[in-house]
Structure 1
Amino acid sequence: MNKMMELLEKFLLPIADKLNNNRYLSALRDGFMVALPLIIFGSIFVVIANLPFLDKLLGEDAYAAYQDALGPASAATLSIMGLFVIIGIGYKLIEQYELDAIYGGVVALAAFLILTPQTLEDVNGVIPTSSLGAEGMFLGIITAFTSAELYRYFVQKNWMIKMPNGVPGAVSRSFSALIPITLTLSVFLIVRIIFSYTPFDTIQNFIYTIVQEPLTALGSGLPATIVAVLLIQVFWFFGLHGQIIVNSVFDPIWYTLNDQNLQAFQAGQELPNIITKQFVDTFLVGMGGSGMTLAVIILIFLIGRSRQLKELGKLAGPAGIFNVNEPLIFGLPIIMNPIIIIPWLIAPVVVTIITYFAMASGLVPAPAGIIVPWTTPPLISGFLATGNAWQGAVLQLFNLLVVCIIWWPFLKMLDKNYYESEQEATDK
């Protein structure tokens, strides 16, 4: 056990540290956080627009009118979520260089729109919303990074128009940004022109065909998801925020898969993906936090004898219901605790496999693409994430029982150690 921990420390900790401090992954993570409130807003109205049995209560025509009335809420947020992510990434990356961040956001957006097809069924001047959502996500991320770096390069080269003293600050900043923005966007215009002479016609078609489809296929598979889940657990064990590190890499893939499911769900079609952002967030992380630690809290109340665990259960319980588990991670502790490393690593993998095959077999509907707020308690979140299906809540309950069974002997052993130590301290 000690040798394994030494190997993990030697090889994984330096990698995790570099990933955690990488400016591009930080900008990617924070860019998604900028878009998150809008995504949740749209998801809430998708839930409201698809409440169970509402079509029977209202009638077919009234229900269709009801859905049409609420449709713009998701169409203006979820369907074009790529735009918000692009602005967020450009803004956050330029912010790290301590430059005027708003120009990083707008130049990223403009560069992306230059590269985006503006023709729909032979009608010019129209941008398909699919290009602004899942299909355009990878191109948007690459464009945001590239445009922000080009803008930063031109600014730091001091290729700017200097206004005299006395000119209002807003005017001066606009003229200062003029040349860097012009040069940056000109690069993307040239790229668009070049690709118009290729078989792909646009760089978006090229990216989607050559890069995004293979990566999305990889990320939608069970093996890649198991690797991601294991890495989350390993990083947390060493005190690093595993979700932030791993999600920085996988979120673009998972959100793309999520958006594909949402479009199919709204169209009444079969859902194309099992692995999505909500698969991970609802059926793994959304069960008390990383490692599904709500099950550990339940076990503490059931079998805990030591004062330390009983007090920890009281402290961590309310937060755990809303998927906040830092009190348990640092209080049990989970970090660098060899007694619990086996259940900490194994339980999420087992639950990932169970959840995947429960959905693949049709016993439980796949996630409908609805972004459920991460603080939503289990059972409720499972119901909402699967498009208001009761099977989602039942699966979460079953998964909690599985985690309890896996953790039982290890938590019993930890509790025994704590209890005996407390008894020895009392006898002295």
Structure 2
Amino acid sequence: MNNFMDKLATKIMPVANKLGNNRYLSVLRDAFMLSFPLTMFGSIIVVLNNLPFFSTQTKETLAELFGNGQNATMSIMTIFVTFGIGYYLSKSYEVEGIFGGAVSLTAFLMVTPFFITLEDETIVNGVLSLDRLGAKGMFIGMIAAFLAAELFSRITKKGWQINMPEGVPPAVSKSFAALIPAILTLTIFLVINAVMTGIFNQNLHDLVYEMIQKPLMGLGSGLPATLVALFFVQFLWFFGLHGQVIINSVMDPIWNTLMLENLDAYKAGEALPHIVTKPFMEIFTVGLGGSGMTLSVVLLMAFFMRSKQLKDVGRLALAPGIFNVNEPAIFGLPIVMNATIFIPWLLAPLVVTSINYFVMAIGLVPAPTGVAIPWTVPIVINGILATNSILGGLLQIVDCLIVGLIWFPFLKILDKQQFNSLA
């Protein structure tokens, strides 16, 4: 078994390392992290405005008074992501990042319709719809930002810029250097938008949403695709690669968009359209002790095993595990390249996630509302906050019991091996 794992590692690790170090996936990850403090602030406001014991009238009053806390953060998340993509991608090419971010954001707005259609088909010009700056505009925002930053950076690297003489203040010099690349890049987007609206009577937002974003969201919100993503998270971690970072770089745009759609529905008092969202993946997988849902594993090692090594690792990993940091368990047990626990490491998250999806699908437990909860918030608390229901916390307790049942026989095998080796 160990020889097989070693051979598999030699095949998997180069591919995973390339994926993890991919320029565009790294930029996308960093861009979403740029928006993290802002979306977290918006989530806190939503939680406080919608506490379960508040009356409907109180919630409406709070939404009127403090609703902009969410409108100016989570509802326009695409703005922050597009700026972040432009900034980080330009920096990766050693081009001035702040101008790359500004150009990418402008390129996104260049292809964004500045009108809304009311229920009576009246068109109001000169306004931006919040959904186009949030969930609905996420994919066209990412596409526009990557293309704009790539064009801006390549034109700049070719030296097509105005160089000011020495003695000119740096801010002025950098602005003139960015002038020609910015004009050329934005002209391309302006022409694209003119062709789409003038010739095809269509806008890129709706086109990308219907042809790309909607199908991907439909795929990403289903249980099969979720289990595949989770399997690869666990599989990569087993070989010592940060599966969460690698897979989330690909899936986060889908999960975050699903999260925003749930939040919009929750605020409107409508049924939540999705079960699988970013909070679902954060709170009901990582939020159970870290990747692999290892809080139960740590508790079993600390209090139910006989070997000194497992007890020591369990007690050392317990405090971090409460806050969903499980590197001490992953590398201390170790989980990495440990053939004895390969099966429960892969199996437990898949079983528990399937159960969670099922109980939420039948309405036994509410789905996450779309509020972003920091992944370091301890179990039960994060489950209650994510679903706005005590049932979310109770489900996590059941999850931990299931994980413990799956892991226990394999831990006993490992415990016996280590105890006998020291006897």
**TM-score tier after normalising by the smaller chain length:** over 0.9
Matches within 5 A, 1:277-292: 277-292=278-293
- Residue in 1 that maps onto 2:83: 87
Residue identity matched to 2:276:
I
Deviation per residue, 1:225-258 (Å, 9 max, x gap): 0000000000000110000000001000001111
Provide the C-alpha distance between the structure 1 equivalents of 2:194 and 2:274, rounded to a whole number of angstroms.
Answer: 35
Describe the SS at the equivalent of 1:110.
Answer: helix
Residue 107 of structure 1, aligned match among 88, 99, 103: 103
- Residue in 2 that maps onto 1:47: 47
Residue identity matched to 1:269:
E
Provide the C-alpha distance between the structure 2 equivalents of 1:258 and 1:243, rounded to a whole number of angstroms.
Answer: 18
Describe the SS at the equivalent of 1:140.
Answer: helix
Deviation per residue, 1:293-335 (Å, 9 max, x gap): 1010111123121111121122111100000011111100011
- Residue in 1 that maps onto 2:168: 167
User: Could you tell me how far 1:289 is from its partner in structure 2?
Assistant: 0.4
Does residue 120 of the first structure (1) align with residue 112 of the second (2)?
no
User: Could you tell me how far 1:11 is from its partner in structure 2?
Assistant: 3.9
Provide the C-alpha distance between the structure 1 equivalents of 2:48 and 2:346, rounded to a whole number of angstroms.
Answer: 37
Deviation per residue, 1:259-308 (Å, 9 max, x gap): 11000001100000011111110001111100001010111123121111
Residue identity matched to 2:304:
I
Describe the SS at the equivalent of 2:168.
Answer: coil
Residue identity matched to 1:53:
F
Aligned residues: 418
TM-score of the aligned structures, taking structure 1 as reference length: 0.95
- Residue in 2 that maps onto 1:195: 196
Provide the C-alpha distance between the structure 2 equivalents of 1:300 and 1:85, rounded to a whole number of angstroms.
Answer: 41
Does residue 66 of the first structure (1) align with residue 62 of the second (2)?
yes
- Residue in 1 that maps onto 2:207: 206
Tell whether the 8 Å contact from 2:296 to 2:400 is kept in structure 1 after alignment.
yes
User: Could you tell me how far 1:2 is from its partner in structure 2?
Assistant: 4.2
Change (3 A) 1:12 1:198: farther
Change (3 A) 1:259 1:63: closer
Provide the C-alpha distance between the structure 1 equivalents of 2:201 and 2:250, rounded to a whole number of angstroms.
Answer: 27
- Residue in 2 that maps onto 1:426: none
Does residue 251 of the first structure (1) align with residue 247 of the second (2)?
no
- Residue in 1 that maps onto 2:418: 418
Provide the C-alpha distance between the structure 2 equivalents of 1:63 and 1:259, rounded to a whole number of angstroms.
Answer: 19
Deviation per residue, 1:160-187 (Å, 9 max, x gap): 0010111011110010001111111111
- Residue in 1 that maps onto 2:120: none
Change (3 A) 1:401 1:198: farther
Tell whether the 8 Å contact from 1:383 to 1:392 is kept in structure 2 after alignment.
yes
- Residue in 2 that maps onto 1:240: 241
- Residue in 1 that maps onto 2:379: 378
Provide the C-alpha distance between the structure 1 equivalents of 2:134 and 2:355, rounded to a whole number of angstroms.
Answer: 30
Describe the SS at the equivalent of 2:288.
Answer: coil
Tell whether the 8 Å contact from 1:288 to 1:321 is kept in structure 2 after alignment.
yes
Residue identity matched to 2:162:
I
- Residue in 2 that maps onto 1:402: 402
Describe the SS at the equivalent of 2:75.
Answer: coil
Residue identity matched to 2:419:
Y
Provide the C-alpha distance between the structure 1 equivalents of 2:320 and 2:22, rounded to a whole number of angstroms.
Answer: 30
User: Could you tell me how far 1:61 is from its partner in structure 2?
Assistant: 4.1
Matches within 5 A, 1:205-354: 205-354=206-355
TM-score of the aligned structures, taking structure 2 as reference length: 0.96
- Residue in 2 that maps onto 1:13: 13
Tell whether the 8 Å contact from 2:87 to 2:101 is kept in structure 1 after alignment.
yes
- Residue in 2 that maps onto 1:154: 155
Deviation per residue, 1:184-220 (Å, 9 max, x gap): 1111101101111355611111100111111110101
User: Could you tell me how far 1:4 is from its partner in structure 2?
Assistant: 4.8
Provide the C-alpha distance between the structure 2 equivalents of 1:185 and 1:215, rounded to a whole number of angstroms.
Answer: 28
Provide the C-alpha distance between the structure 2 equivalents of 1:294 and 1:200, rounded to a whole number of angstroms.
Answer: 55
User: Could you tell me how far 1:3 is from its partner in structure 2?
Assistant: 6.3
- Residue in 2 that maps onto 1:393: 393
Change (3 A) 1:3 1:194: farther
Provide the C-alpha distance between the structure 1 equivalents of 2:136 and 2:314, rounded to a whole number of angstroms.
Answer: 45
Gaps of 5+ in 1: 424-428
- Residue in 2 that maps onto 1:185: 186
Describe the SS at the equivalent of 1:286.
Answer: helix
Describe the SS at the equivalent of 1:123.
Answer: strand
Gaps of 5+ in 2: 118-122
- Residue in 2 that maps onto 1:31: 31
Tell whether the 8 Å contact from 1:286 to 1:375 is kept in structure 2 after alignment.
yes
Tell whether the 8 Å contact from 2:302 to 2:312 is kept in structure 1 after alignment.
no
Alpha carbon RMSD of aligned pairs, Å? 1.3
Residue identity matched to 2:356:
T
Tell whether the 8 Å contact from 2:50 to 2:59 is kept in structure 1 after alignment.
no
Tell whether the 8 Å contact from 1:200 to 1:206 is kept in structure 2 after alignment.
no
User: Could you tell me how far 1:120 is from its partner in structure 2?
Assistant: 1.3
Tell whether the 8 Å contact from 1:340 to 1:411 is kept in structure 2 after alignment.
yes
Tell whether the 8 Å contact from 2:239 to 2:337 is kept in structure 1 after alignment.
yes
User: Could you tell me how far 1:5 is from its partner in structure 2?
Assistant: 2.4
Provide the C-alpha distance between the structure 1 equivalents of 2:370 and 2:299, rounded to a whole number of angstroms.
Answer: 29
- Residue in 2 that maps onto 1:75: 71
